[in-house]
Structure formats: structure tokens, C-alpha cells
Amino acid sequence: MAAILEVRDLRVEFPTRRGTLTALDGVSFDIAPGEVLGVVGESGAGKSMTGAAIIGLLEPPGRIAGGEILLNGKRIDRLPYEQMRRIRGKEIGAIFQDPLTTLNPLYTVGRQLVETMQTHLPLSDRDARQRAIGWLEMVGIPAAAQRVDSYPHEFSGGMRQRVVIALALCAEPALIVADEPTTALDVSIQAQIIALLKRLAREKGTAMMLVTHDMGVIAETADRVAVMYAGRIAEIGPVRSVVKSPKHPYSVGLMSSIPPLDRRVAQLSGIEGAMPRLSAIPQGCAFNPRCPHVFARCRQDRPELIETGTTRAACWLYDPASEKRAPEAVQHG
Amino acid sequence: MAETPVLVAEDLAKSFDVSRPLLQRLLAGEGRRTLKAVDGVSFDIPKGTTLSLVGESGCGKSTVARLVVGLYRPTQGRVLFEGIELEKARANPETRRRMQMIFQDPYASLNPRWRVQEIVAEPIRAFGLAQGAAALRDRVGQLLTQVGLSPLDGEKFPHEFSGGQRQRISIARALSSNPDFLVCDEPTSALDVSVQAQILNLMKDLQARLGLTYLFISHNLAVVRQVSDRIGVMYLGRLVELAPAETLFTAPRHPYTRALMEAIPDLEMTGRQRIPVGGEVPSPINPPTGCPFHPRCPLADARCKAEMPKLLPPPGQPGTIAACHAVEEGRDPAPAPAGTDQRIGTTATAL
């Protein structure tokens, strides 16, 4: 099936007084209908930036400096503001981390839903209100017919995030960009919200880009995962392969840093050092100063994504032309 | 006779007045409102061990941390530091030196205008622990080395460091007065996972080398499992279960503990359908009657709605205490033998 979202060689730059910083470089992926692509990485890796570029809400002075973004085969990265505004909401729904700042505190949730739907769909006032109540029911808000006239502050955090999900979905977009949708929520609420998002995306055939730093959430929700590091995709592949047998040394380190829930380990294996700042990304592979398998070529040339069986990893270990080949036991644990 | 625990909390409670202003109260004809952030919490921490408190936001775990170091004064109950009442203990600088705190946010807890050198040296100066500038500089260098930084880093300002390095600076500052007891309030929550692993390893290593005693506050059960000797689970200001770390994970008893474990997304990808616990944490201003968990509990009955359960050892499990009528009466599903999946299904009302 044709992909709903195609991102090709996306490059985002931030001009600063001290020179231009490259926040995203050569990011490519696509998402099929009904598919959930998880995007993981640590803070500053560029995962939220990728989402912001797709929905056309990059913080100035950030700008798309190269590549293209296609939604249902049409370029959306060069659209004028007005045109992009119409696509947001109608064709792309966005869910952000903090439900309180997403909702307008001065309007009832019903009015916000009605307004969103009427902006994008030809609906009478009465039909729109009926649909708003229907959406609140669908996202699991009890007594939706009464709650539709409540203001955001009258809802708890988990309920607010349900309202935000209803808002993102109510114009039936083809793509949802969800940026840390459960991070502000407690773990018992988080599970409810993930189950809800996943069910709705499946039922409506919506493509979803799920940005999060929580691998547990990804493992339970995503079909495929992209692991980002220093503004690039380090590895991309089916969720099971990336979680269970990661190939890129950064993914291996990331997976083994996660404290296991089912046992106690004497020593957690973190990754030495920290991610480089955008102003000081090393030559060659950005991960090379922290990589346990680094060799000469990593310090000179930047690796592109290379097929490694089930996933693709940007790592010279997997290039047949490299003199040092992938060790048999790049395993986590 | 057993050694005196480093810290004992006896029936601790802390209420906050959250009333509206007087005039509004009079106009609306309503009384004062209090929020019981912590209610009847007791525990002890033996020397050289780690007690962790876990729970969701608003359960009172951070309030307990603040009560224990004397940042808040308890409304009821008391804290004993090595057998001495906290207020008396803290009047003595020698005792005050021996308890320190590490905070969650390494961006907010370091003075941005001070060099790292000065940040780490402040407690040493305050307690008069080094004589002369050279000795002070040596001691700071030694502390920075101990937490995995370089003595040369003392010249820099906090903004020159990453989050993980800043948390190392916070730890160096906390260690600078040679404490025996550290209260760590979500020390790794603001950090990325690969950095979190470094900090947790550092904290465990320092405990082994210096014989430190920790009170560790976290919402992350997986983190808590890696560092704790004993774990207390809190819900709406109360301890609902307290057990040795391994027992809590292999044989959790309180329905809330079980629900929490059930709710954590895991990496195992067994395809297991998680059944999330329904509902949300009620408001602590107006808590439910009886057991605070009963509105969300799959085992709740009439007694749970009426009567507050006491912390008691479940039959045949002496190391644990749980505050649950169902456990006490043997109505809960028995804990499965070791090695099997402990998660139980809980009601899913919201979905």
C-alpha cells in the first residue's frame, strides 16, 4: 500500500550568530496507513524536531533546508502558512506532551471540538455537537453528554489528554504526530492512553508517528522504530528486531541502559559520555567518541543506513567494504 | 541488641492548608480545607541500606523526603535520626552535616552564577571541614574525581555541563560534608536513560565504598528494583505495602502494587494484553472513605468502603506488610510461585 507519509533526506538548520547548526540531517522514512512508527532517542536527538518539521511548526529561526516531506504523495514542506494551517487538523492531527497547554482554557471542550470539526468538515452546529459527544465517548470520557460543556481545568490530567486525542482525531486526519503523549501522565493512566491511541489508529487506518523516549511504550505500541542520535537516524526497522536484537552500537547501548523490571543487575550498562552538542558534532559517525567498536573509518566518513538483515543501521560495521567487520556478538544484556 | 536504625519515621503526617481566602470562604459559607499529603507513615532504615518509596504523582513520597530532612515540620508523628528526635538532632551542626539531600532537577538545584568549585566547597566551608585554601581545593578535587569528573572541572560553571554531569556535581556537593545518610528525591528522573544508568551505578558504588544509607524516592519501579533493599509503595499519602525489594517484585500483595506492575509497558513483547487499572487517583483534599484505593480496586467490598485497613503481614509472608482487607482475609489471588508472571488482571472501567 502507498505510504501516507514520506520523508526524504530531511535537513533542518538553525542559523545562529556563530554559524549554522544542523539539527536534522538526511532523515528519511515513511509510514503506511494504519502503521505506528515509533521515534526514539535521548533529549536533543532531533525526534521532536522531526515531528515539528512534518506538521510545519518548526520554531524560528529553524527552517527546512533540504529534502522533502510528502503527505499522500503531495509535497507539504514548502506550503504557505495558510495552506499548511488547513492541512494541520484536517490531514495531520497533532498530540503534544502537555494537555493543559494544548487546550484553550477559555473555551469548553465541546466548543473546541465543534470548532475544529467545522473548520475542516461541512457540518451543521447540531451535527457537530452530536459528533463532539460521540468523540468524547469514544476516547472514554464518562458522562460525555454532560462533560461536553466543561472547561479543560475541570478535567484531570488523564482526562485532558483524552480530550486532546479526541481533538486530534475529530477531523479524521490521515496522519497523527504524537509527541510524548503519555510522558506527563502517571503510569496507571499512561497504559490507558496508549491502549486508546493504538486502538483508534488501527480502527481508522490512521498512520501514526509516535515520538517518545520511553522504550516500553514503543515496544507495546509501534510496528516499526527509528532510533535517532544527534539529528540522524541511527537505526530503523521492525520493533521486535530493534528492541530484541539491535544492530547499531548506539541502539545496543540504549537498550541495555534500560533498567530491567524483572531482575536486579549488579551493574547497569550505560553508555559512557553524553550526546554531542549540535555545535560540536564530530566528523564521521556522530557516535564514534562513545562507540565501543570504533575504528579508523568511523572517524572520517559518515555512514548512511546499511541493510543488516531485518533492520537498517547507519554503522560502518555492517558495510562489507569495511576492513573491520561486525563482531558476531553485538548483543545487548 | 540490634543496631539503632539510621532513620526512623513514626506515624508521620503532614497536612497543608489549601483553604480559599477568608472573604471568599465567608461568602461561600464554606470551612477550611486541608490536604493530607502524608498520613500515618512509619518506617525505619538500617545503616548501609536503601529504602525506596514509590508511587504516582501526589502520593506524598516527596513530602516524606522533605519531612525526613527537616524541610517540613510534621503535623503529627516524629522522625528519629540515630535515635534522636530530628529537631534536636538538626540543632547540632555535627549531626546536620551527616544528612544531605539530592534533588530531581540538576538544572534548578545548582547556582548558575557559581563555579563548580564554589558549589562543592560551600558545605565544606560551612561545616569547617578543611583548614586552608589548599586543603579545600584538594578536597573538592577529590570529590569531583569520586563522582567521575575531573578536578579541572571545578573552574567551570554549571551551564557548561550536561544533565548527567550536573547531577554528578549535585552528588559531589552532597558528599562534601561526609554525610552518612542521603535523601535522593527522583535523582535520575530528569536524565536520559543511558545517563541514568551511569548515575545509578555511581550511587550504588558510593554506597558500597562509603557505607551510605539512602532514602530513595522514585516513580520508576524498574529503577527502584536496581537500588533498593526494601521498598514502600505509597498511595494517597499512605504506605500501602512495605516489603524487601525482591519479595515486592516476586510476590506483590496489595492490589495497587499489582496494578502498578501491571501498568508498566515492558520490553519483553510477549504479546500480552495489558489490562490497565481503571480510573484515576482521587483528590487528596477529599479522599474516599475506608481504604483510599477501594474505588479502583477489583477486590473491594463493603468493609473496604467503610474501614481503613492496617499495615499487617499477609498470612505466611512475614517480611511484607500490606494495608488491605482482602489480603488480611485471604480474599486476594495467592501470589504465584517464583518465576511465573505475577501480574493479575484488574478492572478496566474506563476502556
Q: Do A195 and B351 touch (CB under 8 A)?
A: yes
Task: State mean pLDDT over B294-298.
Answer: 91
Q: Do A261 and B162 touch (CB under 8 A)?
A: no
Q: Do B193 and A140 touch (CB under 8 A)?
A: no
Q: Do B276 and A191 touch (CB under 8 A)?
A: yes
> What digits encode the pLDDT tens for the residues A1-29?
689 999 999 999 999 888 899 999 999 99
- B276 neighbourhood in chain A, CB within 8 Å: 188, 191-192, 195
Asked if B339 is an interface residue toward chain A (Cβ–Cβ < 8 A), one would say no
Task: State mean pLDDT over B242-257.
Answer: 94
> What digits encode the pLDDT tens for the residues A224-258?
999 999 999 999 999 999 999 999 999 999 999 99
> What digits encode the pLDDT tens for the residues A65-82?
999 999 999 999 989 989
Q: Which helix H or strand E contains A6, and what residues bound it?
A: strand A5-16
Nearest CA distance, A198 vs chain B (angstrom)? 12
Q: What is the pLDDT of residue B83?
A: 92
> Among residues of chain B, what percentage have pLDDT more than 70?
92
Nearest CA in chain A to B264: A187
Instruction: Place A287 in a pLDDT band, splitting at 50, 70 and 90.
Output: very high
Q: Best residue in A261, A267, A269 to probe B by mutation, most B CBs within 10 Å?
A: A261
Q: What is the pLDDT of residue A191?
A: 78
Query: Are B180 and B206 contacting, i.e. CB atoms less than 8 angstroms apart?
Result: no
Q: What is the pLDDT of residue B308?
A: 94
Instruction: Place B3 in a pLDDT band, splitting at 50, 70 and 90.
Output: confident
Q: Do B194 and A268 touch (CB under 8 A)?
A: no
| Pairing assessment for the beta strands A175-179 and A92-95 based on DSSP bridges | parallel
Task: State mean pLDDT over B59-87.
Answer: 93
Q: What is the pLDDT of residue B349?
A: 29
Q: Do B193 and A258 touch (CB under 8 A)?
A: yes
Task: State mean pLDDT over A53-59.
Answer: 91
Q: What is the pLDDT of residue A70?
A: 96
Q: What is the pLDDT of residue B340?
A: 41
The label of the residue with cell 538553525 reads: A14
> What digits encode the pLDDT tens for the residues A314-332?
999 998 887 655 554 444 4
Residue B291 pLDDT exceeds 50: yes
Task: State mean pLDDT over A96-110.
Answer: 88
Give me the residues of B, 151-190, that contact A with CB < 8 A. Answer: 162-165
Residue B35 pLDDT exceeds 90: no
Nearest CA in chain A to B198: A270
CA distance A201 to A191: 16
Task: State mean pLDDT over A295-312.
Answer: 93
CATH no. of A1-91+173-244:
3.40.50.300
Asked if B244 is an interface residue toward chain A (Cβ–Cβ < 8 A), one would say no
Residue B262 pLDDT exceeds 70: yes
Stated length of chain B:
351
Asked if B47 is an interface residue toward chain A (Cβ–Cβ < 8 A), one would say no
Average predicted confidence (pLDDT) for chain A: 89
- A189 neighbourhood in chain B, CB within 8 Å: 280
> What digits encode the pLDDT tens for the residues A108-153?
999 999 999 998 889 999 999 999 999 998 888 888 999 999 999 8
What letter does residue A107 receive in the DSSP assignment? S
Q: Do B264 and A187 touch (CB under 8 A)?
A: yes
Chains A & B: contacts with CB separation below 8 Å? 133
> What digits encode the pLDDT tens for the residues B145-168?
999 899 999 999 999 888 889 999
Task: State mean pLDDT over B37-54.
Answer: 95
> What digits encode the pLDDT tens for the residues B19-31?
888 888 888 888 8
Average predicted confidence (pLDDT) for chain B: 88
Residue A44 pLDDT exceeds 50: yes
Q: Do A270 and B198 touch (CB under 8 A)?
A: yes
Q: What is the pLDDT of residue A288?
A: 94
A269 closest CB neighbour out of B197, B259, B277: B197
Residue A290 pLDDT exceeds 50: yes
Q: Do A265 and B165 touch (CB under 8 A)?
A: no
Q: What is the pLDDT of residue A324?
A: 58
B226 closest CB neighbour out of A43, A243, A265: A265
CA distance B2 to B11: 22
- B192 neighbourhood in chain A, CB within 8 Å: 42-43, 213, 275
Q: Best residue in B193, B199, B256, B285 to probe A by mutation, most A CBs within 10 Å?
A: B193
Asked if B303 is an interface residue toward chain A (Cβ–Cβ < 8 A), one would say no
Q: Do A274 and B260 touch (CB under 8 A)?
A: no
- A253 neighbourhood in chain B, CB within 8 Å: 194
Q: Where are the domains of chain B?
A: 252-329
Query: Are B182 and B174 contacting, i.e. CB atoms less than 8 angstroms apart?
Result: yes
A140 closest CB neighbour out of B196, B266, B351: B351
Q: Where are the domains of chain A?
A: 1-91+173-244, 106-170, 249-261+268-274+281-333
Give me the residues of B, 57-86, that contact A with CB < 8 A. Answer: 57
Nearest CA in chain B to A184: B57
CA distance B235 to B241: 9
Nearest CA distance, B267 vs chain A (angstrom)? 5
Residue B343 pLDDT exceeds 80: no
Nearest CA in chain B to A199: B351
Task: State mean pLDDT over B73-85.
Answer: 94
Asked if B281 is an interface residue toward chain A (Cβ–Cβ < 8 A), one would say yes
Q: What is the pLDDT of residue B22?
A: 87
Cα angle vertex A16, ends A12, A21, to 5°? 40
Residue A286 pLDDT exceeds 80: yes
CA distance B126 to B141: 18
B195 closest CB neighbour out of A192, A214, A270: A270
Q: What is the pLDDT of residue B273?
A: 61
- A254 neighbourhood in chain B, CB within 8 Å: 193-194
B225 closest CB neighbour out of A215, A221, A259: A259
